[in-house]
Amino acid sequence: MALSAAPGCRAGERGPRCRRPWKLLALGLLSASSVLAAAPGAGAMSREEKRRLGNQVLEMFDHAYSNYMEHAYPADELMPLTCRGRVRGQEPSRGDVDDALGKFSLTLIDTLDTLVVLNKTKEFEEAVKKVIKDVNLDNDIVVSVFETNIRVLGGLLGGHSVAIMLKEKGEYMQWYNGELLHMAKELGYKLLPAFNTTSGLPYPRVNLKFGVRHPEARTGTETDTCTACAGTLILEFAALSRFTGTSIFEEYARKALDFIWEKRQRSSNLVGVTINIHTGDWVRKDSGVGAGIDSYYEYLLKAYVLLGDDSFLERFNTHYDAIMRYISQPPLLLDVHIHKPMLNARTWMDSLLAFFPGLQVLKGDIRPAIETHEMLYQVIKKHNFLPEAFTTDFRVHWAQHPLRPEFAESTYFLYKATGDPYYLEVGKTLIENLNKYARVPCGFAAMKDVRTGSHEDRMDSFFLAEMFKYLYLLFADKEDMIFDIEDYIFTTEAHLLPLWLSTTNQTISKKNTSTEYTELDDSNFDWTCPNTQILFPNDPMFAQSIREPLKNVVDKSCPRGISRAEESLGSGPKPPLRARDFMASNPEHLEILKKMGVSLIHLKDGRVQLVQHAVQAASSLDAEDGLRFMQEMIELSSQQQKEQQLPPRAVQIVSHPFFGRVVLTAGPAQFGMDLSKHKAGTRGFVATIKPYNGCSEITNPEAVKEKIALMQRGQCMFAEKARNIQKAGAIGGIVIDDNEGSSSDTAPLFQMAGDGKNTDDITIPMLFLFNKEGNIILDAIREYEAVEVLLSDKAKDRATIFKGKMIPNYIIDSNLEMENMDQKSSENDSHKPNSEEAPSESQDAGAVSEEPEGGGESSAVGDPAPLSPASAASASVSMADQDPHASGPAETSALEPACTPGDSQPQEQNTQTEASSKAHWDSKVQPMESILADWNEDIEAFEMMEKDEL
């Protein structure tokens, strides 16, 4: 497949005469006739199958959107487990995550142009009227400048863009008179006070009513912001300037970009994650393409596409060259230090970097895009979703997945650039997994833990704004669209801005001449503007040949790679000190640690904590040795804590009307049945015991026999409760926290320990639920009486749960052919989960063995145990709660572990528990009968779609 340049456009040339061919590549909308051969046996997807999948995306969108409008609007977001809106201040704070919420109906605004892309023009017209009528932008509330810009300002501008397009076509929006643009301009002025800094970098937060530094603003004291936060403004601000003719917005956004460019590290041409908005000093000096930096690079390239300013392209190319030199280690993308770019800054990757293959497609650099995308896909096939962070040997680092769309975005761009039907199959997998694991009665719930399949009460606005847009476009043909998508560019939130803005109200700005651009190898720019070079050789199997070596990279290998220092020195030096040999009392060992940049901190409890500062190492080689040492120490500590730290468990509600769609995170017990060794789990109806605390003989054994007992925490030891219900004939037990409002969202994973005696007599499984999760089950009992649950190590496929039973059509796994949806799920055994699951990863946990009167506990939290008889040190890495756009520790703690012969799945590290929100079904919740009525409508719609297709 070849891309031809415009007449007179040479290889690597930039400028206006390259604009039209560039646009074709930038949007990834190449002719569908340029189809590469698929992998052997795959074949091209039929038009009927593509249409079926496109219709399925539409049905899924309707399920999410209609539930938001009915149960949440005008709130900012839907809480899909408790079926209500998330209103800031009325729910437990989630920290920086809540800065996106401004009481301005966020999800509706973010979804406006998605409605038009999905051909829902009537719904779009109604939505615009609601926004104009109901949305208030003058709330006394502090919001993120970055999130408000990309979601709300971008949403209003995207809505305005498609509104004027529809009005011009003459059928819809004839009444529209730029109302969304007027709102966008009002919001733009509300964001401008954030730019009142000497540097031009904006404050990270602004009060919509009072601005910044006002006595009532409650903001303006911040000193730091992330690079992406300050560098992801130019598209929306420039579009606002050019739509309105008011140049101030574009000028402010350009000034922020200019300042970041000037502050790049000159020798590496990289930027850090966090910068001081007043001095320009780098606060966090690690650099990558994921959280905290990601969309800064994206906007440099897209600003050139939309605005035609060569300086943006030159800056992007300079950064891209540095990324490919230092950060790209195909198929991995690893953070490095900006001053020492040959030194890796961390040993894990975050999910936000999944956008980067798509950006490489826009750049025209296809090979590394295919490689990284395939690596990410293999991680998804292992865990069903892309974990929020994962290690270099593809283990879970942060287990949550908030339904992010970046991987779908890259899949779409790769398909449009290559025409390879392989990417249609990837999109099909994404659809199946969303329906199988994330779909709940009131929408789609984010994954709290990809290992257990548990949910959190969260459906972010970007899920509607981006995920369904990219998935629908992946399967849509040109004739399925009511407008030409090639006339628009996507913002980082997938909002549509028309390319004709490049010649409208153009801001006249002088090219930045304060610094010279680094002289780079011209070959780096060969594909920056499409030219006569072909993206693929004549061999149609080229894309497959790139992917093939990565097929088993996740499950069957433990890639560590040779460090750059080792590579330059042949076999390279070996670490001078192994963690298993370390003794904190050995002066020689301490001297070696000092040389490697590792320092010791003596804690009050007598333990010693190790902290690694790579910049304090004697040399880069010593720093790498220190990183390896720290990783070995963490692995050693983790192995010694295996018996003390158990992974989370899952409580899955399988009875009507839930049918396995609601999964609750549960804490394990250090006694009783080990659910990880009983893959089928324990299934039964629940029953409340008497007395409810379970601390004496059960007085209602007839109600408990052959059931799973529910009991309250407190007043005696957990093992005593277990023995009492086991004696009464229970097949399992669930202890519910008596602390009102407690939740796994805001508290560490809770483990129930024994009583110091032999607990071999306890043979039933015991799990612990925090108060909010437990109330979901208790409320279900009050509503339905008979409630059946499954206790297991992780959520099960519904086809497995309901094997041999008739179940409603709509809950059968979406990967079964829709024409077979009226059959029993027992006919679909081939869709059982992979039996070779990776071992679950331990979480930081507290183990409590006894509960004195009054409900108090004496506890031993999950601090590392002594590493060995000869060592009193414990390796620990402290990680603060992270902003989704500024993730990762400031100081590196470990490098990836080397593989042990025959060990393809090393023991996993500890991670933090996640925070979000999952409230119980309280009096504010819509009655269950009403929820079921809504669900029945979904069932009927699904069945109608099935009949239409048949």
Give tens-digit pLDDT for 89-113. Answer: 898 888 899 999 999 999 999 999 9
- The pLDDT of residue 510 is above 80: no
Query: 604-614: b or e for each residue (b if 16 or more CB lie within 10 Å)?
Result: eeebbbbbbeb
- According to DSSP, the residues that pair with 767 across neighbouring strands are 734
Q: Is 714 exposed, middle or buried (0-12, 13-18, 19+ CB in 10 A)?
A: buried
**Bridging pattern class, strands 749-752 and 873-875:** unpaired
Amino acid identity for residue 810 in this structure: Y
Burial of 702 (0-12, 13-18, 19+ CB in 10 A): exposed
Spot the catalytic one: 335, 406, 460, 841.
Answer: 406
Catalytic residue status for 388? yes
Query: How many degrees, rounded to 5, is the angle at CA 117 between CA 116 and CA 122?
Result: 25
- pLDDT band at 740; cut points 50, 70, 90: confident
pLDDT at 560: 35
Q: Which helix (H) or strand (E) holds 460?
A: none
147 an active-site residue? yes
Q: Predicted confidence band at 384 (pLDDT cuts at 50, 70, 90)?
A: very high
Residue 128 near residue 184, CB atoms below 8 Å: no
Lowest mean pLDDT among 1-15, 295-309, 536-550: 1-15
pLDDT given for residue 705 in this prediction: 95
pLDDT value of position 372: 96
From 22-36, 53-67, 297-311, 335-349, the region with the lowest mean pLDDT? 22-36
Whether pLDDT at 533 is above 70: no
Q: Cα–Cα distance between 861 and 847 in angstroms, integer?
A: 6
Angle at which helices 179-191 and 154-169 pack, to 10 degrees?
Answer: 160
Sign (positive/negative) of CA torsion 449, 406, 560, 896? negative
pLDDT value of position 754 = 78
In terms of Cα–Cα distance, which of 679, 658, 640, 672 is closest to 862? 640
* Residue 267 CA neighbour count, 13 Å, CB half: 6
User: Cβ contacts of residue 442 below 8 Å, gap of 6+?
Assistant: 67, 71, 78, 80, 81, 83, 931, 934
Shortest CA distance to 469 belongs to which of 148, 111, 708, 943?
Answer: 111
Confidence of residue 618 (pLDDT cuts 50, 70, 90): confident
Sheet with 598-602, edge to edge strand ranges: 598-602, 608-612, 873-875
pLDDT of 347 > 70? The answer is yes
DSSP letter string, 880-945: ---BTTB-S-SS----PPPPPTT-SSPPPPPBPPP--------TTSPPHHHHHHHHHHHHHHHHHH
What are the tokens at 309? 């300013």
CA distance 863 to 859: 11
Q: How many helices (H) and strands (E) does the chain have?
A: 27, 33
Q: Does the pLDDT of residue 353 top 50, yes or no?
A: yes
In 771-872, where do the E strands start and end? 788-792, 845-850, 858-861
Do 842 and 641 meet the contact criterion of CB atoms below 8 Å apart? Answer: yes
Amino acid at site 816: L
Residue 639: band (very low, low, confident or very high) from pLDDT cuts 50, 70, 90? low
Q: What is the pLDDT, as a whole number, of residue 605?
A: 52
pLDDT, position 553: 75
CA atoms within 13 A on the CB side of 616: 13
Q: Could you tell me if residue 597 is left (phi over 0), alpha (psi between -120 and 50 degrees) or otherwise beta?
A: left
The phi, psi pair for 710, rounded to 5°, reads -105, 135
**Residue 751 CB partners (closer than 8 Å, separation 6+):** 645, 646, 667, 668, 669, 670, 768, 845, 846, 847, 848, 862
Judged by average pLDDT, the poorest of 549-553, 658-662, 867-871 is 867-871
Q: Which of 77, 236, 294, 350 is catalytic?
A: 294
Reduced to 3 states (helix: H, G, I; strand: E, B; else coil), residue 46 is coil
Give backbone dihedrals phi and psi of 287, rounded to 5 degrees, phi first.
-140, 140
pLDDT at site 12: 34
- The answer to whether the beta carbons of residues 383 and 451 sit under 8 Å apart is yes
Say if residue 133's pLDDT is above 70. yes
Residues 707-732: what's their mean pLDDT? 93
| pLDDT over 50 (residue 873) | no
pLDDT confidence of residue 512: 47
Residue 601: what pLDDT? 77
Each as own residue / partner, the long-range contacts of residues 710-715 (CB below 8 Å, 24 or more positions apart, any chain) are 710/686, 710/734, 710/736, 710/774, 710/777, 710/778, 711/735, 711/736, 712/736, 712/738, 713/737, 713/738, 713/739, 713/768, 713/851, 713/855, 714/738, 714/851, 714/854, 714/855, 715/851, 715/853, 715/854, 715/855
Report which of 406, 477, 439, 474 is spatially closest to residue 885, judged by C-alpha positions: 406
Lowest mean pLDDT among 313-322, 547-556, 659-668: 547-556
Task: Quote the tokens at residue 802.
Answer: 């309901």
Report all structural domains of the chain as residue ranges with CATH numbers, in order of start. 47-501 (1.50.10.10), 583-644 (no CATH), 649-802 (3.50.30.30)
Alpha helices in 384-421 (DSSP H): 406-418
Q: Which residue has the tokens 């001081």?
A: 276
State the pLDDT at residue 374.
Answer: 96
| Apex 641 CA angle, 635 and 645, nearest 5 | 115
Q: How far apart are CA 287 and CA 303, in angstroms?
A: 22
Report the share of the chain in percent with pLDDT over 70: 71
Identify the pLDDT of residue 543: 78
8 Å CB contact between 194 and 202? yes
Give the pLDDT score at 751.
Answer: 83
Evaluate whether 927 touches 783 at the Cβ level (below 8 Å).
Answer: no
- Residue with token string 């460019």: 261
pLDDT of residue 43: 67
Q: 331: cis peptide before it, omega within 30°?
A: yes
User: What is the average pLDDT score of the chain?
Assistant: 78
CA 439, 440, 446, 448 dihedral sign is negative
Tell me the two tokens of residue 480.
Answer: 């399925």
> Considering 179, 236, 388, 456, which one is annotated as catalytic?
388
Going by C-alpha positions, the residue among 257, 301, 279 that lies closest to residue 14 is: 301
Task: Name the strand (E) or helix (H) holding 332.
Answer: strand 332-333
Q: How confident is the model at residue 804 (pLDDT cuts 50, 70, 90)?
A: low
Among 74-88, 330-344, 425-439, 854-868, the minimum mean pLDDT is found in 854-868
Sheet with strand 274-276: strands edge to edge: 224-226, 274-276, 282-284
β-strands 858-861, 788-792: how paired? unpaired
CA quadruple 431, 437, 442, 448: dihedral sign: negative
CA 233 from centroid of its chain's CA atoms? 22
Reading the block at residue 314, the tokens are 């030159």
510 HSE (CA, 13 A, CB side): 3
By mean pLDDT, which of 21-25, 198-202, 210-214, 631-635 is the weakest? 21-25
User: In angstroms, rounded to a whole number, what is the distance separating the alpha carbons of residues 398 and 294?
Assistant: 19
Per-residue pLDDT band at 932 (split at 50, 70, 90): low
pTM over 0.95: no
Classified as helix, coil or strand, 721 is: helix
Q: Is 492 annotated as a binding residue?
A: yes
Q: pLDDT grade, residue 373 (50/70/90)? A: very high
Residue among 288, 206, 303 at smallest CA distance from 250 = 303
pLDDT of residue 629: 82
**Omega before 657 within 30 of 0, i.e. cis:** yes
| Rounded Cα distance, 497 and 184, in Å | 13
Residue from 80, 100, 105, 103 nearest 90 by CA: 103
CA distance 213 to 216: 8
648 pLDDT above the threshold of 60: yes
Residue 433's pLDDT band (cuts 50, 70, 90): very high
86 SS3 class = strand
Residue type present at position 171: E
